[in-house]
Amino acid sequence: MDNTFITGKLKTRFPENILAVDEHSDMLTVVVAKEVIHEVIRFLKENESLGFTFLTTLCGIHYPDQELQLGVVYHMHRFSDNTRIRIKTFLPVGNPVVPTVTDLFSGANWMERETYDFYGILFEGHPNLKRILNVEYLDYFPMRKEYPLEDPTREDKDNRFFGR
């Protein structure tokens, strides 16, 4: 199965909601509007000519310099010919809500919980969306790039020893 066939199917079914296509990386990457992410994942899984029946991974991303800072990345796999696809959708940091795909892939349960735990992305309709690795009373999301890497007030560090 080639990338033009997959993107053709997606653009035919979701003409206004395919925001970008990138074929230059290790696998086909398609960026879709968050309003249709559930339908796109369902279409990729259930369409007989596509058949991406395995959700390899689901994770969050944070790009603080973009307007839509948070994102969810889905990797899907078609076993019959070893084809993979990456689907991305982006969300505003003020309202990071995206529909759950646990009704399509039960394995998404823990992946969505981990994404919520580290990025604060809310998966609407998730059966048990609560922290999975961090303590429940943690009041921030540690994978967001909202904090400086180093303490600027630190006086015990000599930058000459670190190539600066």
Tell whether the model's pLDDT for residue 163 goes beyond 70: no
Query: For 49, what's the count of Cα atoms within 13 Å in the CB-facing half-sphere?
Result: 9
What the block records as the tokens of 59 is 């994770």
% the chain with pLDDT above 90: 83
Share of the chain above pLDDT 70, in %: 95
Report the first-to-last Cα separation within the chain, whole angstroms: 49
Structure tokens that stand for 49 in this block: 């000519």
Tell me what the mean pLDDT of segment 131-150 comes to.
87
Contacts of 151 (CB under 8 A, 6+ apart): none
Closest Cα partner for 72 from 63, 61, 64? 61
pLDDT at 153: 77
Please provide the DSSP assignment of the chain as one string: --HHHHHHHHHHHSTTTEEEEE-SSSSEEEEE-GGGHHHHHHHHHH-TTT---EEEEEEEEE-TTSSS-EEEEEEEEETTTTEEEEEEEEE-TTS-EEE--TTT-TTHHHHHHHHHHHH--EEET-TT-S-SSS-TT--S-TTSS-S-SS-TT--S--GGGGT-
User: What is the pTM assigned to this prediction?
Assistant: 0.88
Mean pLDDT computed over every residue of the chain: 93
- Domains along the chain with CATH numbers: 3-150 (3.30.460.80)
